[in-house]
Structure 1
């Protein structure tokens, strides 16, 4: 899978809130980190699956759209930076969560993700719930 296909599939998994779709994009030993402390890191495809299952099942935030703002190529051909906004509703209130993904893709799978979410937006989701 190309980087472009992975980014598209990643956003589709988010839209569907599908931990299986998301985990299937990862290498078996892939790492998913949350540098701003939203959750502990997930080590390995199956932990990504379990971790996102727990997170997405627990949130009342219904995702309406995942908008790709930009994909930035870096000097390292394995690494891209994805700017995105997630639009959705919770308790009838529309909210937007901006974020950045730093993805390292090797041999068609994600080997490392650094997931930077706007923690103030996450707090607004929790408050609205």
Structure 2
């Protein structure tokens, strides 16, 4: 029996926080996608397919931000059993500078047959732009 949508989201969050790319990618459907509707220049708006997602996450892993914990996590189950909305505060460190990192995130995920088919990540683009700028200055 496939995991519930909520259980899949919990696994996705844990893999993201632990920066466990392989587990994260294994939870994505082969033709699934991730979108960042609000993002600074240089960040893709959409990645389609498990392999493209793996390539992007592997290239980025541990280079910009190291997540230490997610706080204030709230998982909202909806009337559509495939759709889950999650809110959380990501706390960590900007790797190149050692500066603290804090990002509030809302994500909307669609889970089908125990796999993520759609992950829309609404992060604050200003925090990410500042982080990218500070990392660029540290190099």
> TM-score of the superposition, structure 2-length normalised?
0.82
C-alpha spacing 1:68/1:4, structure 2 compared with 1 (3 Å): farther
Q: Distance in 1 between matches of 2:29 and 2:125?
A: 27
Structure 1: runs of 5 or more not aligned: none
Structure 2: runs of 5 or more not aligned: none
Q: Distance in 2 between matches of 1:4 and 1:125?
A: 30
Larger radius of gyration: 2
State the match for 2:52 in structure 1. 47
State the match for 2:133 in structure 1. 127
Q: Distance in 1 between matches of 2:79 and 2:107?
A: 16
Aligned match for 2:110, one of 104, 111, 126: 104
- Runs of 4 or more, structure 1, over 3 Å off, are none
State the match for 1:89 in structure 2. 93
Secondary structure of 2:81's aligned partner: coil
Give the length in aligned residue pairs.
128
Secondary structure of 1:35's aligned partner: coil
RMSD value, Cα? 1.7
**For 1:1-129, what aligned pairs fall within 5 Å after superposition?**
1-37=3-39, 38-59=43-64, 61-90=65-94, 91-129=97-135
